[in-house]
Amino acid sequence: MASAAYGQVESFSDPNVDYGFDVPDAKWKMTVKPSATSPNVEYVFGDRNDGHLEVRRLKAGKDAILSDIMREEEEKLQFLPGFVAGPDENFAGRLRGAIFNFEFVRAGKPMSGRFYFLRAADNTTVYVLRFTAFRDKLRGIRNQTDSMARTFDLRKSS
């Protein structure tokens, strides 16, 4: 009964990380759980090519400009086959930031990436929500990627 699950939102949180976010669809499954030694989390939307999320935490200088941090990440991506940078977008949810869009080719298939760079209030931490998928699939779940980024928030330490 798919209609019973529709609209139900799960929340991700874990004692090993200082953040959480809402997962808007039960099709998103956690594939990498954070641990004391690795604070990264990963989700897939059914299949990795239909939607893949990696959450990473970057340290930045207090005066670092977000666009410079984004360019550093872009430099790492430039070596992907068929890499083409897309437009950047400003973004506001529980945390403010920007989005870096790009396209590339994996195994002959057109892929897209949509990376959300969200700055913590301390101005020295940037969280990157790295979404990748087949180009048409990522376009189809964009409302979900936006929702996950909008609800991304830092947990209060107890």
Q: What is the mean pLDDT of residues 9-29?
A: 94
Does residue 88 lie within any of the structural domains? Answer: yes
What is the edge-to-edge ordering of all strands in the sheet holding 96-106? 28-32, 41-45, 47-59, 125-134, 109-119, 96-106, 84-92
pLDDT digits (tens, 9 = 90+) for 102-115: 999 999 999 999 99
Q: Which residues constitute the domain of residue 133?
A: 17-154
CATH code of the domain containing 38 = 3.40.1000.10
pTM of the model: 0.91
- For the cut 50, the answer to whether the pLDDT of residue 82 exceeds it is yes
Does residue 12 lie within any of the structural domains? Answer: no
pLDDT digits (tens, 9 = 90+) for 59-80: 988 888 999 999 999 999 999 9
Does residue 7 lie within any of the structural domains? Answer: no
Please state whether 71 falls in left (phi above 0), alpha (psi between -120 and 50) or beta.
alpha
Q: What is the mean pLDDT of residues 35-51?
A: 94
CA distances from 78 to 21, 101, 111, 125, 127 (A): 29, 13, 14, 24, 21
Does residue 120 lie within any of the structural domains? Answer: yes
